[in-house]
Amino acid sequence: MSRESHSTKERILLVDVSNSFTKIAIARKGVIGAVRKIRTSDLPSAKLSSLKVDRAVIASVVPSAAKILRSKLRCPVIWINHKTSGVCISYPKPSTIGADRLSNVAGVVSLGKLPAIVVDFGTAVTFDVIDGSGCYLGGIIAPGLSTAAAALHERTALLPLTRIQRISAPFGKSTQQAIRIGLLLGAVGIVREVVGRISRESFAGIAPTVFATGGDAGLVARLSESSGGKQVIDHVDPLLTLRGLLVIASRGR
């Protein structure tokens, strides 16, 4: 079942399990329905066995989640990895690439705006590089904003645990403001540097299309637009990983 899956009444369960949160949605006819977001630590108590679905596609970066989901689901499941993703990969050890990252790549390649870079702002900030033919080349991993904020709190005596929020000044008038500004401006800076360097050194100066997803993507994108210079993020899509799962499902793999 490939193209036909979007034109039937088939219900496809999409599950994106990350370290902090799990997103769950049901897709029909190529449309993703309401997204349910739960803490991954709460997955054992999630009521999934009663869902009326025909099959499921799951991207998980939490190994212990597989056993939990297998016990709850009563339908065929595609577990995303380098063999099932359908993504062209030019990478020495493709089995080490995260399932969420492969799903992001599948979603972006389906849009045809290549070459491209996917930035996922989650527990970690990941960059994934796709060439003009839609082949995955490699990536970059940096601490996520919330992860960095927690590390500052845990590794210092006086710095408070700080929630990432929108900023409106170039420097802080309180410790928490200073931490937010440092982390968010740092995120803008790393995106600019990564995109610029990859454009020059890997794509012969051709600017890749930059897609952003993840919890802090919108904040960083808005801040980069207001900070002057060339816009660094072209598209923000909070559902990119789920869209990639649906693309993979549509191939009937």
Assign residue 251 a region: left if phi > 0, alpha if psi is -120 to 50, beta otherwise?
A: alpha
In contact, 121 and 147? CB cutoff 8 Å: no
Question: Is 120 tagged catalytic?
Answer: no
Which residues are within 8 A (CB) of 174 and not within 5 positions of it... i.e. 6 or more apart? none
In contact, 30 and 250? CB cutoff 8 Å: yes
CA dihedral sign, ordered 156, 158, 164, 166: negative
* Residue 114: Cβ within 10 Å count: 16
In whole angstroms, how large is the CA radius of gyration of the chain?
19
| Residue 207: DSSP 8-state | P
The one catalytic residue among 16, 100, 120, 237: 100
Backbone angles phi, psi at 101, to 5 degrees: -70, -40
Which residues are within 8 A (CB) of 106 and not within 5 positions of it... i.e. 6 or more apart? 85, 86, 87, 244, 245, 247, 248
Enzyme catalytic residues? 100
